[in-house]
């Protein structure tokens, strides 16, 4: 039987590890926001960080460039299996122009369309320790002529369909990276919707028949709280779909909406 002081130390050590993990996730979220906020007109951004419970040590073999490309390709394929709405194009599809050429970063590979005129702005990081970062512009091409009102006049528009696609893409890329690197622990995903300034966010949804609208009952929050989900290396597509739905629902509930993935 362990002594009382040993039990207390075990609890302290666990608390310290959890605190360090939370601080690291927040640091990565903040860094991702800094990276994208200066790259566009006022926009809302999906920002997600997926970090293993036990990240790989620095001594572990680094992810090769070709493997980084393969992770994005396989994640896109898996993500397409997680949705009942194939018309909602996620950020991984938009990375196809740069997937063949990941750029080196600080102990990570970076795939980005931020400085290219390639449509939706997307930024993805595949870290050698198993951490994945996904950031995408949720405002690009959201305002169209079929809207009854101009959301730009009252806030920053957020495309609900694209938000759902981002959630499943974030789950898929985190899962595929963990498998490629043989991560043997759970992966914790943290996601939010962020903007450079506290401007109201306006949700834009697609009704039956493809009609785009701003729901009258929707809230227009100035800040979205971060939401979380957890995946394991043994999860099948049904469980991954449930994780993506959990993140999507928690984000859109803050607008007063209940979405379908």
Q: How many domains does the chain have?
A: 1
How confident is the model at residue 89, as a pLDDT?
82
Provide mean pLDDT across the span 138-145: 79
How confident is the model at residue 207, as a pLDDT?
82
Provide mean pLDDT across the span 28-36: 91
Q: What is the mean pLDDT of the chain?
A: 88
259 in a structural domain: no
Domain assignment of residue 115, given as a range: 4-253
- Tell whether the model's pLDDT for residue 147 goes beyond 70: no
pLDDT band at 199 (very low <50, low <70, confident <90, very high): confident
pLDDT band at 17 (very low <50, low <70, confident <90, very high): low
How confident is the model at residue 152, as a pLDDT?
55
109 in a structural domain: yes
pLDDT band at 117 (very low <50, low <70, confident <90, very high): confident
The residues that bridge with 191 in the sheet, in sequence order, are 48, 227
- Tell whether the model's pLDDT for residue 41 goes beyond 80: no
For the chain, percent of residues with pLDDT exceeding 90: 64
- Compare 84 and 202 and report the one with higher pLDDT: 202
261 in a structural domain: no
- The answer to whether the CB of 50 falls within 8 A of the CB of 187 is yes
Instruction: Count CB atoms within 10 A of the CB of residue 223.
Output: 12
Provide mean pLDDT across the span 53-63: 93
258 in a structural domain: no
**Order of strands, edge to edge, in the sheet holding 45-52?**
103-105, 108-112, 122-127, 132-137, 45-52, 187-194, 227-231
249 in a structural domain: yes
- Tell whether the model's pLDDT for residue 1 goes beyond 80: no
**pLDDT tens sequence across 213-248:** 899 899 999 999 999 999 998 999 999 999 999 999
How confident is the model at residue 204, as a pLDDT?
93
83 in a structural domain: yes
3-state class of 17 per DSSP?
Answer: helix
260 in a structural domain: no
Q: What is the rounded CA–CA span in Å between residue 118 and residue 113?
A: 7
């Amino acid at each position: 039987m362990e002594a009382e002081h040993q039990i207390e130390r075990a609890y302290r050590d666990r608390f310290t590890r959890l605190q360090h993990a939370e601080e690291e996730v927040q640091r990565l979220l903040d860094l991702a926001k800094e990276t994208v906020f200066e790259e566009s007109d006022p926009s809302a951004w999906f920002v997600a960080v997926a970090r293993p419970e036990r990240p790989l040590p620095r001594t572990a073999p680094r992810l090769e460039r070709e493997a980084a490309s393969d992770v994005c390709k396989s994640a896109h394929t898996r993500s397409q299996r997680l949705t009942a709405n194939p018309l909602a194009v996620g950020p991984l599809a938009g990375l196809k122009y740069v997937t063949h050429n990941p750029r080196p970063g600080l102990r990570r590979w970076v795939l980005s369309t931020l400085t290219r005129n390639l449509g939706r702005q997307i930024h993805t990081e595949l870290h050698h320790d198993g951490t994945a970062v996904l950031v995408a512009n949720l405002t690009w091409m959201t305002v169209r002529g079929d809207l009854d009102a101009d959301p730009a006049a009252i806030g920053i528009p957020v495309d609900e369909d694209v938000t759902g696609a981002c959630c499943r893409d974030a789950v898929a890329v985190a899962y595929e990276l963990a498998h490629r690197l043989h991560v043997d622990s759970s992966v914790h995903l943290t996601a939010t919707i962020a903007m450079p300034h506290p401007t109201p966010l306006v949700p834009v949804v697609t009704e039956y028949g493809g009609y785009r609208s701003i729901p009258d009952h929707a809230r227009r929050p100035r800040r979205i709280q971060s939401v979380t989900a957890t995946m394991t290396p043994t999860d099948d597509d049904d469980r991954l779909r449930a994780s993506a739905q959990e993140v999507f629902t928690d984000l859109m509930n803050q607008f007063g909406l209940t979405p379908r993935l």
